[in-house]
Structure 1
Amino acid sequence: MAAGGGSDLSGRAIASGLESVVGQTISVENLEGGGGAVGYAAFMGDEGDASYLLATETALVNLPLTEDVPFTWRSFTPIMKVGQDSTIMVVPTSASFETCADVVDAARSGQVRVAVSGGVTGNDAIQFGLIEQDQDVEFQRVPYESGGEVIAALLGGHVDVSLTNPSEVMGQLEAGDLKPLCVIAEERYEYPELADIPTTVEQGINVTFSQFRGIIAPGGISDEAKAYWIDASRTYVESDAFKEYMSTNYMQTDPLFGDDFASYLETYEADLKAGLES
C-alpha cells in the first residue's frame, strides 16, 4: 500500500486504535507494488506469526480472481472488517457531464478518457469494466500509480473522468474544483455532505461496488492468538477513535469479526466473480 492512500490511512488508524487497546506499540510498514500483490505475497512469509497484522481491502479478493498470484483470502486469518465505502465518479466542475449516464452516453458516441489506478485489475478497472459490460460501451483507460496522481491528472485535464473514495476527494469537492456525478452503489450515502449524490442504479446503470477495509493476520496462527486480536478489535470499534476514523473518512460502519468476516469475504468473492464473468 502506498503512503497516503486509503489503505495506508486505514492501516495507521487501526494500528493507533489497537495500540490503545493492547498497550503495545504497533509499527506500520508500507509495502508497495502490484496493486497490493507485493504486500500480500510478502505477508505469506509471516505464516503462523501472530505479531503481524495487515491492513486489507478489496484487492485481497480481486487480485486472486484476476491475476496469477500465490494467495487467496483463505491464505490468511480474517480478523476484522471495519466497514466499507462506495466509489464516487467525479469530473472537473467545468465539464459538461452532469450525471454518470452522461458519461456513458458520451462513450457511445466518442472517446471518454477515464483514469485507472491500481493496475488493470484494480478497483477502478473493475468498476469501469462492470459499467462497460452493463451499458455496452468502451472507455479509453489511462493508467496511473496512485489516487493522488489520478486527481492531479483530472484537474490538469489529462483525463475526463475518475473514480475515487470520498475521503480522497472531499477537499476538491468542497472547494468546487470537482463535481460528483454518482455513487457506484444501490443506496446513497447518509452523510449530509454526500447525501445529494445520486446512485448509479438511480441513473439506470445496474452496477454497484463497495470497497471493504479491515485487518487480517497471517495464516496458521493459533486459536488463542486469533481470539486475542478479535477481542482487541471488538474493543477498538467501541472507542471514540474508531468512530472518528469512520466519520472523518466517510466510511459506512459495518464491523465484522473472525468467522463472520470470513463469511463476508466468501460472499464478496462469489459476487465479484459473477460480475467479472457476466
Structure 2
Amino acid sequence: MTFRTGLAALFAAATAIATPAAAQDYPDRAVEFIVPWSPGGGSDTLMRLVAGNIEPYLGVDMPIINMPGVGGTVGLREVSRRDADGYTISLVHEGLLVATETGVTDLAWDDFDPIALMTASPQFLVAHPTEDYSTFEEFVDYAKAHPGEITIGVTLGGVPHLHAAMIEQAYDLQFKYVGYEGTGERIRALVGGNLDIAIGDISSSLQFVENGDLVFLAAGSTDRLDAVPDVPTFKELGSDLELMVTRGIVMPGGAPEAARATMEAALEELSKDPTYIEQTNNAGADVMFRGQEGYRDYLAALDATVKSLSEVLAP
C-alpha cells in the first residue's frame, strides 16, 4: 500500500466513524416550531400539545412561534427560506394544498420534507344561536328560503372554504362568504354576532357551545363523537360529506436524512404517549401517526383529490 492510498483509506475510515457520531449530535439545541396560524385555533392548540410533550423523546425544547397570514402561507414562506438543517419545523394541513391549487401561493407541499402526520380533526358547522333555526334541518330550510343571506366565516382559499362549498353543493344552498385568517378568529367573530355560521372544530368552539354562546349544527366525522354525542353527522343528515383536517410536521426541503429520521422517531414515540393521546382527544382530534413515507403518500393522494375539486373553489 502506498502512502497516498493508505492516507485515503484512513480518511474514508475516519469519515465512516464520524458520520454516525454527527447523526447522534442532532438535535443539540432547541428546534423552532413555526405555526403558520393564529393563537387559539385548532392548529395552534394541537401543535402546542406536540411541542409541550416532545422533549422526553427529542431531548430538546420546541418553542412555538405563531406566524399567521394569507391562509397559513406567510409562515410557511418563512419556513421555506430557513436553513434546511433540521432546526426549523412547521405544520401542513389541507389548507396548503387548496391554497396552491387556487393560486393563493406558489408554494406546494413537496417544497417541504414531510416528517410525520400527527392528527385528524373533524370539522363542524357552528351557528350563532337564533330563533330562525336550532337544528341542521331547520337551518337548511331557512337557508333555502334566504339564498345568499347567510354569512359564513371561512379561510378564503383554504380548507374551511372548501368544506363550506361542499355543504352548499350537497344541500343546494348559497352562502355569503366572509374571510378570516384562522379558526380562532372566525369563531370569536361568530360569538360576537358578526356571522351567522362558521366552519369550526371542537378545540376552538366547544367551550362556547357549552356556555350556550354557539351551537353545533352538524359534524364532519364518520360517526358521532363521544365529546358531543347529540350532534348528528352530515351522513346522518342526507349526504356523504366527511369534513376533516389532518395536521402533520414538515421541515424545509433538503433537510439532512439524520435530522428527518430523528424527528420522525421522536414523533412516533410521542404518538404512543398516553398523556399526549388523551390531551389530543380532549382537544377534539385523534392521533393518526404516519411516518415520512406514509405521510408523503398521503399528501400526494390528497393533492390529487384537491385538484379534482378545484372548480368548487374557482373565484
Query: What is the TM-score with the length of structure 1 in the denominator?
Result: 0.90
Task: Work out whether residues 121 and 246 of structure 2, in 8 Å CA contact, stay in contact via their aligned partners in 1.
Answer: yes
Asked whether 1:261 is paired with 2:289, we answer: no
Is it true that 1:215 corresponds to 2:249 in the alignment? yes
Question: Where does residue 276 of structure 1 map in the other structure?
Answer: 310
Structure 1 residues 174 and 76, CA gap change in structure 2 (3 angstroms): same
Confirm or deny: 8 A CA contact 1:7 1:56 kept in the other structure: no
- Verify: 1:202 aligned to 2:239, yes or no: no
1:46 CA drift (Å): 2.2
Structure with the greater relative contact order (CA < 8 A, sep ≥ 6): 1 or 2?
1
In the other structure, the counterpart of 1:15 is 51
Alignment of 1:67-146 (within 5 A): 67-110=103-146, 111-118=148-155, 120-146=156-182
Would the aligned equivalents of 1:101 and 1:205 in 2 still touch at CA under 8 Å?
no
1:230-249 alignment runs, 5 A limit: 230-249=264-283
RMSD between superposed Cα atoms in Å = 2.0
- The answer to whether the 8 Å contact 2:71/2:182 transfers is no
Of 174, 184, 190, the match for 1:154: 190
Distance in structure 1 (CA, Å) of the matches to 2:129 and 2:89: 40
Decide whether the 8 Å contact of 1:43 with 1:218 is kept in 2.
yes
* Contact map agreement 2:84 2:252 (CA 8 A) in 1: yes
Which amino acid counterpart does residue 272 of structure 1 have in structure 2? V
Structure 1 residue corresponding to 2:261, chosen from 227, 230, 243 = 227
Q: 1:180 to 1:33 in 2, by over 3 A?
A: same
Matched, 1:24 2:60: yes
Percent sequence identity is 26
Distance (whole Å) between structure 2 residues aligned to residue 275 and residue 100 of structure 1: 25
SS at match of 2:127: strand
- The answer to which of 105-114 and 65-74 deviates more is 105-114
Change (3 A) 1:32 1:153: closer
Contact 2:46 2:280 in 1 (8 A): no
Amino acid at match of 2:173: V
Q: Does structure 2 conserve the Cα–Cα contact (< 8 Å) formed by 1:100 and 1:200?
A: no
Q: Which consecutive unaligned segments of at least 5 residues does structure 1 have?
A: none
Is 1:4 the counterpart of 2:53? The answer is no
What per-residue deviation string (whole Å, max 9, x for no partner) do you get for residues 1-45 of structure 1? 112222222222212222221221222212121011111111111
List structure 1 runs of 4+ shifted beyond 6 angstroms: none
Contact 1:116 1:142 in 2 (8 A): yes
Could you say what secondary structure the match of 1:131 adopts? Answer: helix
Measured after TM superposition, the shift of residue 47 of structure 1 is: 5.0
Could you tell me how far 1:223 is from its partner in structure 2? 2.0
Larger radius of gyration: 2
Q: What TM-score do the two structures reach when normalised by structure 2?
A: 0.80
Residues 41, 70 of structure 1: 8 Å contact kept: no
| Cα separation, 2, equivalents of 1:217 and 1:38 | 15
Structure 2: any 5+ residue segments left out of the alignment?
A: 1-36
Deviation of the 1:113 alpha carbon: 2.4
Structure 2 CA distance for aligned equivalents of residues 251 and 237 of structure 1: 13
